[in-house]
Structure 1
Amino acid sequence: MKEEYFTEDFILKVREKYFRPRKWEKVKSFKKAAVLAIDLQKYFLVPKSPAYLPSSQALIFRLEEFYGKINALGIPIIFTRHSHKEGIMVWWWGSGMHREDPLNEILDNFKPFAKIIIEKNTYNAFYRTKLEELLRKLGIETVIVTGVMTHLCCETTAREAFVRGFNVVFPVDGTITQNRFFHEATLRNLSHGFAVTPLLEEVLEWLSLG
């Protein structure tokens, strides 16, 4: 079930429930960070698409502002772009996401920030891509996960980043999915064993302090 759930009340509620200050204090000393912008494609973010997420406009507004400030701080933003034509993704979903489809382009709002784009074909942005190599080359210690969808590509990538030894920040207002239940389930799980879950504005405050 899809719903437009991404309200200020929802965001503050889940932040209060799942943010763990002690874990945040541990992560904050690792300031060599990069932002992952997962699958911010028209396929998920424009109303004419069959995969449109009803909370898209609220996320777009937040991330445009966030990426602009992150860009000004000189922190790398690494975009991923998803496509698949065969294999288990097609078997599971019943259709492909073809790279040539215009809906698979990065949303125009985010193109000014999309200087680095990693192509992927499954939920995990590290699987058979150059993402880890790039992060290691940049000396990154912490990844900040944003994008779509919270409980699929964002969550899978966050878990994999942790397994590979990166600190993971997963802002409660940095991703969206189809409904509040999927979103909250991800935060419940990740905050227990994989990631800290502050607000985007708290991430900016941390990174702005130098």
Structure 2
Amino acid sequence: MKYTEDIVKKAAINAYLNGDVEFEIITSKCALIVIDMQDEFVKPKWTPFWVPEATNQVPKIKKMIEVCRGKNIPVIYTAFKDTHLFKDRPKTGQLMPNRYPHLGNDPLWFNEGKIWHEITPKENEVVIFKPSYGAFFNTSLETILKNFEKDTIIICGTLTNYCCGTTARQGYERGFKVVFGSDVTSTDIPEMQEPELQVLRKGFAKVLDFKSIIEKLK
């Protein structure tokens, strides 16, 4: 068979748009990871990092959390906050344009790492304060998942193409099955959502919408 430009292009397009990684979602092996649904990203108009779509998705994420709790699926939260005098994070982080220095800074931001009040963690649920985008980088998440005896992570939260997507990639590289919520993850610019989902669909995760995930968990 000769792999013409047309053949390989069609194969790539189909994988981006329709690819479905072949693994079964086994409820007893799942953990839900709620990425960075904290005040700095969810509370309307409070910071320049507010993600309006994250606020809009709170009801669906709340429902997903409730379903997982009802199925004894561990719910693990992540958030940013001041940890280790900020010495535990990538050195060039402060140089990145996503810090918006021209919009000012408030010492209250990212001080507590407070999860949005509508989806507050229970006392027996894990909250991981992470130093960078991915939830596995310099955290105990992998050890926690292994101790829970889970091999599948379901990802929801914000931002799709930064913290959520990076966590999906890191989970994949560590041998976890990754389920990525297409409409329970959000970006600061809606046009960036679908391109990231396409990349994840082709090479890193099973990308499903909220209703499909809930149905498979039931």
Q: What's the TM-score, normalizing by structure 2?
A: 0.78
- Provide, for residues 126-165 of structure 1, a one-character-per-residue CA deviation record: whole Å limited to 9, x for no partner: 1111000000111111100111100000000000000000
Residues 1:190 and 2:188 are matched in the alignment: no
Which residue type is aligned with residue 32 of structure 1? K
CA–CA distance in 1 between the matches of 2:158 and 2:69?
20
Larger Rg belongs to: 2
Corresponding position of 2:95: 91
CA–CA distance in 2 between the matches of 1:53 and 1:34?
24
Shift of 1:118: 0.7
- Provide, for residues 25-81 of structure 1, a one-character-per-residue CA deviation record: whole Å limited to 9, x for no partner: 523357500001011110001112221112133211111111111111110010011
Rate the CA distance shift 1:31–1:132 in 2: closer, same or farther, 3 A: same
Tell me the matched-pair count.
Answer: 190
- Matched-pair contact (CA < 8 Å) for 2:37–2:54: no
Which residue type is aligned with residue 88 of structure 1? T
Match of 1:178 among 173, 177, 188: 188
Rate the CA distance shift 1:112–1:125 in 2: closer, same or farther, 3 A: closer
3-state SS in 2 of match to 1:68: helix
CA–CA distance in 1 between the matches of 2:183 and 2:106?
26
RMSD (Å) for aligned C-alpha atoms: 2.4
- Matched-pair contact (CA < 8 Å) for 1:41–1:103: no
Give runs of aligned pairs for residues 1-210 of structure 1, distance below 5 A: 18=17, 20-21=19-20, 23=21, 25-29=22-26, 31-47=28-44, 48-83=46-81, 85=86, 87-92=91-96, 93-94=98-99, 101=110, 104-113=113-122, 115-208=125-218
CA–CA distance in 2 between the matches of 1:123 and 1:67?
22
Can you give the 5+ residue segments of structure 1 that lack an aligned partner in the other structure? 1-16
